[in-house]
Amino acid sequence: MQLKPIDQQVVVIFGASSGIGRATALRFAARGAKVVVAARSEEGLQSLVEEIQSADGAAIAVPANVTNLEQVRAVAETAVREYGRLDTWVHVAAVAVYATFEQTTPHEFKRIIDVNLTGQAYGAMVAIPHLKNGGGGALIHISSVEAKRALPYHSAYAASKHGMAGFLDALRMELEHDDVPISVTNVMPAAINTPFFNKARTKMGVKPMGAPPIYQPSIVADAILYAAENPTPEIVAGGAGKVILLGQRLVPRLMDAIIARTCFTMQRTKEPKSENEPYSLFEPIDGYNHVEGDFGDQARGSSLGTWLETHPIANAVVGGVALLAVVLLLERSLKD
């Protein structure tokens, strides 16, 4: 499957007003792509378009709620009407409540599933016909390491991300079976330093944070741009995420014990926050329309694991060296 160079692409980024989506839109525009940005926050979208255009980039904004299929469809139709086609669809939008399952209301649980899972499906539904009409392209959906390894306080969030992984795997197989030239990528970030934690509702009594180590949004944006040019089923953004998922495959019961012992406290800051303070679960909140969150002093700006995933030759060399080292150690042990 051949995907276009980024500077020849028309790209939709859904969930672009802040965080990973905003970083990705800026990166695509800087590389010469024509960008259509969508989110609930008109203020965030307008400031993003102004930032892109001030750097001589091409961008338009379409305010839309991901739970409204017609609004999602309007985003795709605007991209085609304004720029003639659609080459890549990047779906980032997500919400969360930091609470135990017993503290989570049915309304909150349903809302998280509607946004994080059904909303992602709506994106794919409206994008696929346009990608087909253009001769193919890329569907890139941002889930989480929690697509395969749940954390406490995240029953609804983890359920939505697990559902995304299943939906994307099924979709990928169907498209491949029908020889449709659309790549489907599941990008799974570890903890990322974005305003997501400021906007989430919390019932822990304090502001939440991602379980360290925390990475900068640029790491995820780089992975997304790689997938826009290189068909890739999965990318884990953040080396700690790769370690977690490896442990989950090899020793799942041990991972349960480790996470239960550490992640209740690791996701809590010392900053008090009431569950009634403004949150974005049902309506957008302004004031957080920027890329980075509050954890820049501890966020890592690079990830060797993610760099290797997006540099296959280097990854193969490292894998070969590791395999050779194992073989040599085995030979030596047998001789001894």
Task: Report the catalytic residues.
Answer: 157
CA 105 to chain centre: 25
User: Which residue is associated with the tokens 């255009």?
Assistant: 53
Q: What would the DSSP string read from start to end of 39-65?
A: ES-HHHHHHHHHHHHHTT-EEEEEE--
| Structural contact between residues 1 and 136, judged by C-beta atoms closer than 8 angstroms | yes
User: Which residue is associated with the tokens 């040019």?
Assistant: 229
One-letter amino acid at 190 equals A
In the chain, the N- to C-terminal Cα span, in Å, equals 49
Nearest to 10 by CA among 109, 127, 148, 125: 127
CA 66 to chain centre: 15
DSSP structural state of residue 205 = S
Kindly tell me the burial class for residue 120, based on how many C-beta atoms sit within 10 Å of its own C-beta (0-12, 13-18, 19 or more): buried
Residues in the chain: 336
| Structural contact between residues 112 and 96, judged by C-beta atoms closer than 8 angstroms | yes
Nearest to 238 by CA among 334, 146, 137: 146
CA distance 112 to 119: 10
| Structural contact between residues 32 and 225, judged by C-beta atoms closer than 8 angstroms | no
